[in-house]
A and B are shown apart, each in its own frame.
Chain A
């Protein structure tokens, strides 16, 4: 009977069902079940690479994070196709539905989630072949990175200059489950967590290696110096700046070589430089330069005319060359704005994220030391290396001199907006003449909706 050949598969299939057939048990060939990942040393190494990869998110150190603050501080004018998200940054009037800000929020918490998962996963690995030092190193790197991520959030979304403020950020130190909602910690609690993690990491990470593409003890010292400065704990800021400055791994480049920081990769000034390559691109070039004859519609973050004015007041400063306002190099639609030259390399688009450069250590220490011989020495060290003579602005002008130096040094590297907020100069009549609440960004509306009111909006943005 011919029908047999059709009945057979039917019967076979029914049998298959009763004998726990795996017809419906499929596995994805592209992914690994997160619950089964952490088994051995290799899996921890892989997840660590994942943590670094998460830093490369386009909205975090892949581009967004270091550039969003530039128009807010006035260093950048915004271009683009009249996109309201970009326009809000340019107008320094960011709303809670701004998608760029929202994506940054998600991007940073994604890094925290990757780090948390690795930290918890590490504890479950029982692999005799896993070198305990390396295991500690991995844990230390993950903890340092999650501390940095929290700090990065605090700088944009929390009142980081005020240790008494209740407007910190949600601190996430464990793997989150569905339904977990984390309210905001206070600023003090946030700093406590960040500093606790960094200090713990300091003991765990590799003490010798100085590869700027990864976190090591040099990186952690530098991060500690930065966080203590923001938290106004000057002795500790000085302590860790000293550690970094004195060890000899990092060397400042002089005025002749200064531009090589951006034209080359991993110069001696880089403490933490997130690496990209042509197959793993960053957005810096696309956002700040695009192509030689680009119009203003194609470049989201133009160098603002005010930055040109700023450098005109600093003759001899080699850093002026990296903010290019030459009409011959910029389309008329861009002028009188210009473009930063820090992220060239249109063909590979591999411009790195300069997360920590050695120059910052001197400026941290100078600020922490205050107006003093040592403080002036640090400030003038940077000036001298950048083609400028020494100055003594006096006690009254010292902080402003440091702020100017930071602006000259780190424009288009994301510092200036935080610096102005940190010294509370974002206020009516301040160095940045905006309403004071604009010293930080609003918590994204979407996050407020998703947390059902558990997360409070920043004052002024309600």
Chain B
């Protein structure tokens, strides 16, 4: 009907225009600048007149106006635009969503608030900024985009867990549509073993937060200070990330189909030596040693037999012509694709959003892949004036063919870094070559065999759903109750074929693990709002109950028949079976007051009381209060109508948050089941501290939000100081108690920092727009107190200590011997003999670096020209060191790893050692090649590197067609992820974490992590009419 009316008006206007010779008819289409979708019902008025029209259902208009008229385009939620006609008859307009962000509604804990009313430190990031990226984990899509948030990608493995650090604190709480979500790795498949098959590290981490499809997310809010976070009380000490998924909006259904396809390849390969150079290096090493021997026959001790330096090495010559590039053999160009269909819309009363997506990523290491299927349905129904009910639900299924032993001993990558190029992948009969037959004793198996014959698959099925009802008891008092469940079922299947070194002796080994978790949550929130003149008051009170039950079981079998029988029932022996259950519950009361006076003076006070089953009855309840005030200076008279400052707000907050993530039942000394000689028994599990209680984080935050030049420049400054005390730690106690550690509250860590973010509309000239976003964060991390000052910790349970916890130092301080360089005369490495006892050993260790960056952040540039758009996003980190513990292997300089027999070559080297010392006088950091001496010291600053980097994370070039055929808009784009990394780091990637997860005490170790990929992709967004 409206369409005809519009046409009628247009006709009349046109007719009347025809009567006046100085009038012309202007027509065109109006679209949304961000996605190119058409905007029906938008109002267009000739300035200074009542002459106007609205756009039709295709977003088109036609209006007769004076030749020199100015058209005013207005639409709710968009910045009005004025355009001079200048005799043009066709004017297409792209509308920009409201420039002034202050009216934006921001999600806060248990509610929403207008941005102008916020008193805490909250960063909000919108879908526009992270959609369509080829990532599995939503956190990687916000890497570098928010100040104070440092997201590290420790592994390039698809579906890998990330290291999320907010203001120096690892592992924030994720809250998805109001549900605090379990985000740790649920897989019981360990990927870090030593040569005996014992678990030595947490290895590759699989994040269950990857279950969420990033494109289903409408916005993410990062609650950084205590004021914003303490409403989540006992789980908020490390910050909170609120994730809000898309919901339907009133209006015509929007139907979208998005697809991308891309190719990934290794971004920063290490250049390893070929056969000729490798043989040359080892022979040079032997010659160097022979020279030493000839000069001084006692140089290698009495009884040294120099023939080991002259006899030909077994299987170590170039006659075979084999020159295998192992990195090339185990990596590949890998496809990545995503297909996604979504549907949203609704009437005044019923709104719906539903989506389905299929994500498929091959790993850049052969055999490895990650597939995920997501389905979501969000519904809202207004039952009557008082009652609204709704639901949010998603189901996801993922299947991950794991890469065995990522980032640790005996892994595929750790193997290839030392593999001999003289060794072919397959022998003449097409069988895998036996690594024992070729020189390079570092190997634990033929890497291609490991990749193919160790099959590990983790699948995860997850359901997360909420039903809620919101009822207005009286007009300004609302009750919202919800009931949510989070159900996860994860399975692990690993089969080590009998031909692998790992399972050869036992005839093959299979592991099957199951993880089931059911968590339910009931929340009941009352909200009262009252406006009294210049006073605005909002009161919120709530009560929540949550309980989580986890069952785990696993079974290991050995001895498998030949062929394809790989399931546990084919095993000759069941060698291990486990089954256990753990559970926790949490009961919480929460309250919040928001008060504003004259819209200038704002006050927020919150308190939460959490009772947790994890602590004994006496220490069960923790109280987490916070308060914050803000002053909107720009509302004061002296800043009214200031042309420079359009908005200015000062914020101050202080509060307390907590952490209970220590595992269940840690406050009780237990006997656990055990066995001996066929008898069942019980054995002490731990020594417990019954006074175990919450970790506390007190945080002070001072912030300034600014908006200059009518929104052209906006951003904020933040200064914070947080003191984490009563740290939940595995604290060292005297071993005479029977246990090396106790779980107790111990220590204090202080993080102080400064953040700055700015968004600027650098240029906006008709067809061309340039926006810039920049953020910068610096955090100083210092241990203030410890029960045991100077305790050493190791990233792997069988490695020498790699880190130290020391008062006055940063956590994640590296521990090792200091490398002083190469003696130019002899070519030998020099290490600092700190205790001056004549030996260089671990007694000479000192702090030699730290994993924590001094500063990090990101820079986004978006450009728009006509129908083209381009965004370039870079992020950076400075001052972070990496302890590259795998590098000694591939820079072992011809070493034999054997001070007695000297028959074997240790490992191939990277071409970086071409800079090695060769003759007296050479000034270099690389010592001389030596067969007998290890001219490297693993735990030393020789292998501590500057991990600073600038990464061109994402470049996206798009072209948008509006209203084409059956589509209201179509956008095609070309994208490069991880285009280039500017870094001096010698490993695959400066972003590392051997422990794969959140252990900040052992951060910054590289032990052959899965390399990062560079991805080129093309994609399409179709919006159906």
Contacts and interface: CB of A to CB of B under 8 A. Distances in A.
Chain B CB count within 10 A is highest, among A275, A286, A298, A445, for A298
Contacts of A446: 732, 735, 740, 791-792
B587 A23 contact: yes
Contacts of B434: 293
Contact of B196 (A13, A37, A82, A286): A286
A422 to B, nearest CB: 24
Contacts of A213: 677
Contact of B314 (A83, A109, A172, A332): A332
Interface string B729-750: 0001111111110101000000
Contact of B469 (A6, A106, A447): A6
A170 interface: yes
A37 B898 CA distance: 51
Given A82-B888, A99-B801, A291-B505, A45 B620 contact: no
A446 B670 CA distance: 24
B687 interface: yes
A443 to B, nearest CB: 10
A290 interface: yes
Interface residues of B, number: 112
B672 interface: yes
Contacts of B684: 34, 50, 54, 110, 113-114, 117
Contacts of B505: 290-292, 346-347
Nearest to B559: A347
B191 to A, nearest CB: 17
A52 B676 contact: yes
Chain B CB count within 10 A is highest, among A51, A99, A181, for A99
A80 B794 CA distance: 18
B299 interface: no
A306 B678 CA distance: 40
A30 B679 CA distance: 17
A451 B734 contact: yes
Interface residues of A, number: 110
B576 interface: yes
B841 interface: yes
B736 A180 contact: yes
Nearest to A104: B735
B469 A97 contact: no
Nearest to A181: B734
A34 B670 contact: yes
B476 interface: no
Interface in B574-615: 574-577, 580-587, 611-613
B612 to A, nearest CB: 7
A328 interface: no
A90 B934 CA distance: 15
Interface in B607-628: 611-613, 617, 620
Nearest to A100: B798
A43 B683 CA distance: 11
B794 A54 contact: no
B197 A178 contact: no
B804 to A, nearest CB: 10
B708 interface: no
B797 interface: yes
B611 A24 contact: yes
Interface stretch (B255-263, B530-538, B900-908): B900-908
Contacts of A48: 681
Given A6-B481, A97-B842, A335-B903, A32 B680 contact: no
Contact of B506 (A7, A93, A109, A347): A347
A359 interface: no
B72 interface: no
B641 to A, nearest CB: 48
B422 to A, nearest CB: 15
B528 interface: no
A77 interface: yes
Contact of B687 (A178, A280, A333): A178
B739 A110 contact: yes
B621 to A, nearest CB: 9
B506 A346 contact: yes
Interface stretch (B182-190, B360-368, B661-669): B661-669
Given A46-B680, A53-B683, A335-B901, A25 B613 contact: yes
Contact of B676 (A3, A49, A110, A297): A49
A297 B196 CA distance: 11
A50 B682 contact: yes
A85 B799 contact: yes
A114 B436 contact: no
- Summarize A's interface: helix, strand, loop or mixed: loop
Chain A CB count within 10 A is highest, among B444, B505, B794, B939, for B505
B195 A109 contact: no
B471 A3 contact: yes
B841 A52 contact: no
Chain A CB count within 10 A is highest, among B672, B677, B797, for B677
Contacts of A455: 734
Interface string B546-559: 01000000000011
Contact of A96 (B742, B794, B843): B843
B737 A52 contact: no
Given A50-B682, A297-B442, A24 B581 contact: no
Contacts of A370: none
B675 A280 contact: yes
A347 B543 contact: no
A226 B792 CA distance: 36
Contacts of B620: 24
A30 B582 contact: yes
B545 A49 contact: no
Contact of B677 (A52, A91, A114): A52
Chain A CB count within 10 A is highest, among B441, B582, B583, for B441
Contacts of B681: 45-50, 52-53
A26 interface: yes
B789 interface: yes
A335 B673 CA distance: 43
B792 A333 contact: no
Chain B CB count within 10 A is highest, among A3, A51, A446, for A446
A2 B800 contact: no
A132 to B, nearest CB: 21
A31 interface: yes
A10 B543 contact: yes
Contact of A113 (B545, B573, B737, B801): B737
Contact of A296 (B441, B585, B738, B789): B441
B80 to A, nearest CB: 42
B504 interface: yes
Contact of B195 (A81, A116, A275, A335): A81
Given A46-B682, A48-B681, A82-B888, A172 B736 contact: yes
B1002 to A, nearest CB: 14
Contacts of B800: 83-85, 97-99
A279 B585 contact: no
A93 B737 contact: no
B584 A178 contact: no
Contact of B736 (A3, A31, A109): A109
A37 B668 CA distance: 13
Interface string A93-132: 1011111001001100110111011000000000000000
B830 interface: no
B674 interface: yes
A428 interface: no
A405 to B, nearest CB: 26
3 A-B pairs with least C-beta separation: A113-B738, A49-B681, A50-B683
Given A6-B524, A85-B798, 19 more contacts: A3-B473, A30-B582, A31-B672, A31-B685, A45-B679, A50-B681, A52-B677, A82-B897, A88-B841, A99-B797, A99-B798, A99-B799, A109-B737, A113-B739, A178-B744, A279-B577, A295-B904, A445-B792, A450-B791
14 contacts: A7-B479, A30-B672, A34-B668, A52-B681, A82-B897, A85-B798, A99-B794, A113-B738, A279-B574, A279-B675, A280-B675, A281-B575, A336-B901, A337-B901
